[in-house]
Chains A and B, each alone.
Chain A
Amino acid sequence: MGSRASTLLREEEIEEIKKETGFSHSQITRLYSRFTSLDKGENGTLSREDFQRIPELAINPLGDRIINAFFPEGEDQVNFRGFMRTLAHFRPIEDNEKNKNATTSEPLNSRTNKLLFAFRLYDLDRDDKISRDELLQVLRMMVGVNISDEQLGSIADRTIQEADTNGDNSISFNEFIKVLEKVDVEQKMSIRFLH
């Protein structure tokens, strides 16, 4: 990108991002200004420390995992493209997109992809299964320190039992989708980015 992050985003880049993620022009520019404000080192990429500097994220139980989700496998820096790619999952599904069923690749913010993003946050070792331990970790993060391991274990067992249909004692992606079929994921996992 260049030694100093250009405050202007090139038109071609905007177009590419638009095509890939579906954001509008103004949304991309707005998010770019946010990106640059987070980028204290001014090198055009964000590192984990940049994210951790956001105060509310520090008290979020899932803060670390969310931050990790932005960084591709094994890397420590994320550029604007990657930033937008991750955020694209949270774009609201529009009506005209629902009708597109002949596209070659599903848009990033389809229901399945949203759920896949959430699934990957549980499934850290990427084996396409949420094991009991992974579930326990997440529960522990959400519930705090006052509850004993045993009790959490019971909850985890119960959860897996409810969701598990093929008896492998872990939750696969399909089981995950099935469990959440009644939850309005399109609404729950969408942020109304202002135009």
Chain B
Amino acid sequence: MPTGSGWLSPAGSGRSLPGRGLLLLTVLVLLEGTVFRLGAASTPDVSGHDTKDHHKATAIGHNSTKKAFPVLDLDYGHIQTPFEISLWVLLASLMKLGFHLIPRLSGIVPESCLLIVVGLLVGGLIKIAGEKVPPVLDSRLFFLCLLPPIILDAGYFLPIRPFMENLGTILIFAVVGTLWNAFFIGGLLYAVCQIQTGNSSELNGLGLLPCLLFGSIISAVDPVAVLAVFEEIHINELLHILVFGESLLNDAVTVVLYHLFEEYSGVGTVTVMDGFLGIISFLVVALGGVLVGAIYGILAAFTSRFTSHTRVIEPLFVFVYSYIAYLSAEMFHLSGIMALIACGAVMRPYVEANISHKSHTTIKYFLKMWSSVSETLIFIFLGVATVDGPHFWNWTFVTVTVILCLVARVIGVVGLTYIINKFRIVKLTTKDQFIIAYGGLRGAIAFSLGFLLKEDHFPERNMFLTAIITVIFFTVFVQGMTIKPLVELLAVKKKQEAKRSINEEIHTQFLDHLLTGIEDICGHYGHHHWKDKLNRFNKKYVKKCLIAGERSKEPQLIAFYHKMEMKQAIQLVESGGGVKMPSAMPSTVSMQNIQPKKLPPPKTVERALPQLPKGREEEIRKILRSNLQRTRQRLHSYNRHTLVADPYEDGFDKFILKKQKIIELENKIKEMNNYLTVPAAPTDSPTMSRARLASGKETDFKPAQQQKESKICPDPQAFSVKPDSDSVPIIQVDLASPQSPDTVNVMDEFRRADQEENQGLMMRCPRGPSEPKKSEDTEGARDQQKLMRCLSDPGPSADEDEDEPFLP
């Protein structure tokens, strides 16, 4: 085992296709070996125990044979379950890695197909090895562990604006469309079964209710499959949200229909009363689910208000509250998916206003990671379960099902669109309808629901399962593979990649107000009117409760502007810009300027110094501060409660380069003018002490002061910094106060220095640490928070959806 994994890593760097294939094969063999072992483990364990007992017995009996002390022992049973789980997850992740390294394959075949194939292979290998295939797609495992991360990810990052704008359309597709599908498929299947009475006896006993039950299972569009396929085709936002929203909201219908038919299949009849109860049940399930989710969402938002001192566990609240919401909804047989979506969507604007930037990134990364692994596992398990599951192939049933699914979907979409278009402002074209119909993929939820059926109630269960798997394979493989070329062929509008500019934001809000006004004049209580009312309510009452501190009063536009500026600042630093001022840099303003009015910037020293273009100066400050801060963060000991980084964990050479750059910059600044007030010559400026700490006293760094004074050329290793003479400002980089390079104190000083820096517009004279600013501590803390929020990774993908404020 260890040799295998050791061999894997060098192979990973190869680039040839055979290398890839060999890698995959090795992993498969590895897994098969393990699974083989785990199948056999059940027996050796028992025998092991027997022998142990035997030994003990003999030992006690004879009292003379002393067993040698086991230096190395193998106890697989002890760690079996977690080990298996970890291996499966590892397999899933390695597969994901592998597929993206094979260049052409990932372009042609969607990932979901490949994963199912891998699952088939693994299942096949296990079967060949003669072992029992573990029941991996057990319904409890699926619904309680694998599905929630995906749904939470979808719900938390749901683009609210397009969702709400198209809510009517989505609801009609989800509710009416699913009902239509279920009854059409179920009814026609029953008719086919009746016709088949003479020929095959198997279909004979199929009553109407089991058929309808089957119809309801197979009719629901699956969010996992839709996500997996649509993510790769980058279709325009409207279509994406329509199909995806439908797949999420039809869960309520599916739950009700499933329970209804399952309950009454035993009895054999469904009366009108039951139907009526079913409708009421649907309303309860749907609205109840949303309500449960919203309650937990508000709780989470409220909790996040108080987390400013324990930033480390902020993401945990988001995850735990959401999961509890899901479980609570499932407990009452309400729609868990809708609860999750509601929870995520409700809590997001408030939580994001409260948590730090790092927590925000953490949440994003964790959600994406979990959902990605879950999705991969689901598809692999589908493959394994296909190999394993008891199959009962009936040509008629399966082919009729597949055909009916397609037909029902097309008729449903076309018919509903005709009705919907009467009410829509932007009509759905034929192309749109085609994509919506074609995107109705079935997936693992259908399979799990089928798996849940009990054999004794439903003797046809195996036949159902086979048909379900066939439909899933058909939709995922055929439809999934062909949808991308079809989208290209039909020239469907693709997703617009560009981010929202501040112009768009301002004008969109402007138009919102305008339209609300016009609606009021017409006396027409339309879409804008209610949105405006909700926004007003939100601003007046809800935000005050759920958002901590100053940000509760922040207007939407300002919040948007903040975010944009922050992103740009991060980008500037990340691009390794150093001192270079790109002239293309659009912003001449700094986020630092955006502060509430009641904090007037101290205006003591600036007047004495010549004016500079504000923007340039701010840019330099930003860069310097971020670079310096990064350095500082590296030097403090890691503490679980304070979340500061380890000094030695980052690349040492990068650090050296950064230091060089900073020293360069300081040098240039000093050379440019004489106003620079450097803190009076300390023997060990904080810069140097940090450098020394990190370098372990082996560089020949000269202290910054000495370097400046002697005007020695810095290390040639450093970046060649372009001196932009007319724009280098006269600023004083107010590093911490000169004394105490001691670690603990420095941190406090930096924090205070930060506060000082944040409160000014530009320059001021250095203030010693002896002036604690008690009155402005909250402001400082908040600015600190802002800066802390600034310093983090941008995240996996530039997700413009996150920019949207509450109900934009």
Contact = CB atoms under 8 A, between A and B. Distances in A.
B597 A146 contact: yes
Nearest to B504: A183
B494 interface: no
B58 interface: no
A189 B510 CA distance: 11
A122 B427 CA distance: 30
A154 B589 contact: yes
B515 interface: yes
Contact of A161 (B524, B526, B588): B588
Contact of A142 (B501, B513, B523): B513
A56 B521 CA distance: 9
Nearest to A89: B518
A138 B622 CA distance: 30
B515 A191 contact: yes
Interface in A77-131: 87, 90, 92, 95, 118, 121-122
Contact of B501 (A179, A184, A186): A179
Given A66-B514, A95-B427, A51 B503 contact: no
A144 B165 CA distance: 27
Nearest to A195: B422
A50 B524 CA distance: 17
A142 B427 contact: no
Interface string A7-45: 000000000000000000000000100100110000000
Contacts of B589: 154-155, 157-158
A5 interface: no
Nearest to A93: B425
Contacts of B595: 148, 151
Contact of A150 (B514, B518, B524, B593): B593
Nearest to B761: A150
Interface in B490-534: 496, 498, 501-504, 506-524, 526-529, 532
A143 B558 contact: yes
A157 B506 contact: no
Helix, strand, loop or mixed for chain B's interface?
Answer: helix
Contact of A187 (B425, B503, B510, B519): B425
B518 A191 contact: yes
A155 B517 contact: no
B795 interface: no
Contact of A57 (B521, B524, B590, B593): B521
A179 B516 contact: no
A118 B561 contact: no
B523 A180 contact: no
A159 B515 CA distance: 22
A60 B426 contact: no
B516 A193 contact: no
A95 B422 CA distance: 12
A60 B513 CA distance: 7
Best-surrounded residue of B165, B512, B518, B528 (most CB of chain A within 10 A):
B518
Contacts of B390: none
A142 B506 CA distance: 9
A4 interface: no
B587 interface: yes
Contacts, number: 148
A63 B518 CA distance: 9
A155 B561 contact: yes
B586 interface: yes
A118 B511 contact: yes
Q: Name which of B517, B523, B590, B597 has the most chain A CB atoms within 10 A of its CB.
A: B517
B716 interface: no
Interface residues of A, number: 54
Contact of A138 (B502, B510, B594): B510
A11 B386 CA distance: 71
Contacts of A92: 425
A146 B507 contact: no
B522 A193 contact: yes
A147 B555 contact: yes
B514 A191 contact: no
Given A57-B521, A66-B521, A142 B586 contact: no
Given A95-B427, A147-B555, A154 B517 contact: no
Interface string B760-787: 0000000000000000000000000000
A154 B597 CA distance: 14
Contacts of B524: 191, 193-194
B522 A34 contact: yes
Contacts of B519: 191
Contacts of A56: 516-517, 520, 529, 532
A162 interface: yes
Nearest to A154: B589
B696 interface: no
A142 B509 CA distance: 8
B82 interface: no
A57 B520 contact: yes
Nearest to B516: A60
Given A57-B520, A155-B589, 7 more contacts: A38-B521, A60-B513, A87-B522, A90-B518, A143-B557, A157-B588, A187-B165
Contacts of B523: 34, 37
A159 B502 contact: yes
Given A118-B507, A151-B595, A144 B521 contact: no
Contact of B593 (A121, A146, A154, A188): A154
Contacts of A144: 555
Nearest to B422: A195
A193 B425 CA distance: 10
B425 A154 contact: no
Contacts of A90: 515, 518
